[in-house]
Structure 1
Amino acid sequence: MAMARELVVIKGAGDLASGVAHRLHRAGFPVIMTEIPRPMVIRRAVAFAEAVYNDTVTVEGVTARLVPSPDAALAATGRGEIAVLVDPRAEVISALKPQVVVDAILAKTNLGTRIHHAPIVIALGPGFKAGRDAHAVIETKRGHYLGRVIWEGEAAANTGIPGEVMGYAAERVLRAPAEGIFKGCRAIGDVVTAGETVATINGVPMKAGISGVLRGLLHDGLKVTPGMKAGDVDPRGERDYCFTISDKARAIAGGVLEAILYLLERLK
């Protein structure tokens, strides 16, 4: 079967965006991702944004590489890699004119994506209206409609409350207790106990609220503010979950792939 070759630009390279990129790459689409100079990603072990810090990162057999320019990005995709560009304004879109643009920043608001940016524009989560801001919107809220393609209207509004895992919701999230520079004391994948210090912010301890496996933690050296999300504890205790794409990301990725294939057929 012939491979699809329509170029896809994904805005954002966090864990959900990376789940989308991974599936599209496996399906044969060349993928370029854009990021900010200092990504604030929690689930770093499964986020292609880590390439910004480490030049390359591999998630479930797929490698992403930090590149300096749109031309270098195309070259990387030609070598079978996902390209990551530090490009906060996603100027690569006007430079390369991709067939598909996916806004996967998950900012809960539209930071500048427009339906005319590409023949196919898809947005993840709340803050976008299908038919106005994008051709399709993908539901990102956990539950019955997770991953659903929305052709008219908007995704469910953000509640600010994380989805429940084993009865824990907000308790799973680690938040910065002070303003300052973040420094981790434990590593992603470590088993932690409730009350244990997992990081410090200018010497102020950030402690786990529950026991489990440390699934996510900010990169050292980032500046944080009080209340900012800085980590995630998984009460299920499965270390492998820290290093593999989540069920949520896979569901959303399936919705994006469905929308792209449907819209490509309509464009024909």
Structure 2
Amino acid sequence: MKILVKGAGDLATGIGWRLKRAGYRVWMTDLEVPTAVRRTVAFSRAIYEGEARVEGILSCRVSDMKEAEEAEKAGKIPVFADPEAEIRALWQPEVVVDGILAKKNLGTRMTDAPLVIGVGPGFTAGTDCHCVIETKRGHYLGRVIDKGSAIPNTGVPGNVGGYTVERLLRAADSGIFRPLAEIGDYVTEGQTVAFSGNVPVKAQISGIIRGLLQAGVPVTKGMKAGDIDARCERNHCFTISDKARAIGGGVLEAVSAWEHGVL
């Protein structure tokens, strides 16, 4: 079965990783300049580095069908710089998963494939997709919704290590992003970890940098640029998160249920 995952950030990577491990054919798309902060566990990194390995699975940037098929034969996940997912019309997958996590639908339609899955807020099962996967941390994370929508976006990030909004790094001004630290580094509260334009971006808490935009990304003031984890488990920076695994499991459940005619 051919499955196209729109988006290749850390949560979409959790989806693609689980589907690939389950034996499905997986192709992915993302922006020409990806903005995933958890880059070490995002297949989108392949777009600017050529390849990206996440927990034993390798992805690589491709530009056309031939390159994608060759990558597949080599056991890799093909990743296209294709924000509109135009490859869908050529490849004609049985399943389309919108894992962009934009908190709104950017153009996915229920007619895009025999099975269309929307991930997170912004989708309504039965209207613009066949089912929705819950992305809010908590009791319902990863749940497959076949009627209705996911819990609306609250604007407050999930609690990690006792912190919510404090753990995020946001661009202090519009301009080019210039990191001074790397993912996996320990930083202290008040430390300058990057510049956005010419304005310093400072840590609000002490901990390990779990996510940080790559150098040279154009940012706008207030844009999410990084993530600090107060739990200080460095290994967490380089492995798929519990949230991404749960969401990936929900997508895998939906695909399998549809495949067996029970969805």
**Pair 1:230 & 2:225 matched:** yes
For residue 259 of structure 1, the aligned residue among 236, 241, 254 is 254
- Letter of the structure 2 residue corresponding to residue 53 of structure 1: Y
Residue matched to 1:98: 93
**Pair 1:120 & 2:133 matched:** no
Gaps of 5+ in 2: none
Residue matched to 1:211: 206
- Letter of the structure 2 residue corresponding to residue 56 of structure 1: E
The size of the alignment, in residue pairs, is: 263
Residue matched to 2:63: 68
Aligned-pair Cα RMSD in Å = 1.1
Residue matched to 1:89: 84
Identity of aligned residues (%): 55
After TM superposition, the structure 1 = structure 2 runs for residues 6-155 of structure 1, keeping only pairs within 5 Å, are 6-155=1-150
The TM-score with structure 1 as length reference comes to 0.96
After TM superposition, the structure 1 = structure 2 runs for residues 169-248 of structure 1, keeping only pairs within 5 Å, are 169-248=164-243
Alpha-carbon distance between aligned partners in 1 of 2:89 and 2:145, rounded to the nearest angstrom:
26
| Moved beyond 2 Å, runs of 4+ | none
Structure 1 residue 71: deviation in Å? 2.6
Q: Is the 8 A contact 2:161 2:229 kept in 1?
A: no
SS of equivalent residue, structure 2 residue 122: coil
- Letter of the structure 1 residue corresponding to residue 78 of structure 2: A
SS of equivalent residue, structure 2 residue 4: strand
Alpha-carbon distance between aligned partners in 2 of 1:71 and 1:158, rounded to the nearest angstrom:
39
- Letter of the structure 1 residue corresponding to residue 115 of structure 2: I
Cα distance change, pair 60–181 in 1 and its aligned pair in 2 (3 A): same
